[in-house]
Amino acid sequence: MTENAKGERIVAGAPRPDSSGPRDLASEPVSRVEWVHRDLLKPNHYNPNRVAPPELELLIVSILEDGFTQPIVVLPDYTIVDGFHRYLVSGDLRLMQLYGGMVPVVKVALDPVHRMMSTIRHNRARGTHAVLPMAEIVRTMVAEGVEKADIMQRLVMEDEEVERLEDRAGMPEQVGRERTDFGKSWVPQG
């Protein structure tokens, strides 16, 4: 962690909004939407969001009727930061026929911790994420040296939520690893 000129703690390399005046709208990511072929895109390995088949079909119908109203957010190497399910349904035959495999993207340059933060913010804003993948992301951030206060601030989480996610991280690996040896007085019924 580092401090800015005002003495505020910030995550090293974290993009911070410039509050000194109006933003240059031409430099905003949404001002740089481009169409690329979906085959260029790569899913990330940490997305905690899950969508059931009926909602995926609803997303297809939404794009069929309304068009793509949100670009897919990608890194310069086309790894998906946000929009995995828009990418996923873009392979549907109906959408392939309409768009020829092309999808709208906007590129952002983020380091690994900040792209995970971005993915979480996008998903939480829509109200969907799975607990264990989310816990794994928090565990990764802690391992990368991100302080709990920064996780709370940047992901808009309460202390208790961060604690619970930290405690849940790695649970599937722990199950079965901690074997209990029963005392000699224990006799199996059978």
Higher pLDDT, 54 or 126: 54
Residue 96 CA to residue 158 CA, distance in Å, equals: 42
Residue 14 has pLDDT above 70, yes or no: no
Domain ranges of the chain: 31-110
**pLDDT confidence of residue 130:** 65
Q: How many C-beta atoms lie closer than 10 Å to residue 102's C-beta?
A: 16
What is the C-alpha to C-alpha distance for residues 15 and 161, in angstroms, rounded to an integer? 24
- What is the average pLDDT across 123-142? 70
Q: Per residue in 53-78, pLDDT tens? A: 878 888 898 899 899 999 999 999 99
pLDDT over threshold 80, residue 42: yes
pTM: 0.58
Q: What is the CATH number of domain 31-110?
A: 3.90.1530.10
DSSP code string of 29-78: GGGG-EEEEGGG-B--S-------HHHHHHHHHHHHHH---SPEEE-TT-
Least confident window among 30-39, 44-53, 124-133: 124-133
Q: How confident is the model at residue 134 (pLDDT cuts 50, 70, 90)?
A: confident
Determine phi and psi for 105, rounding to 5 degrees: -135, 155
Range from 59-73, 88-102, 136-150, 155-169 that averages highest in pLDDT? 88-102
User: Most confidently modeled of 64-73, 107-116, 154-163, 166-175?
Assistant: 64-73
At 103, which amino acid appears?
Answer: V
Provide the pLDDT for residue 111: 74
pLDDT score of 170: 52
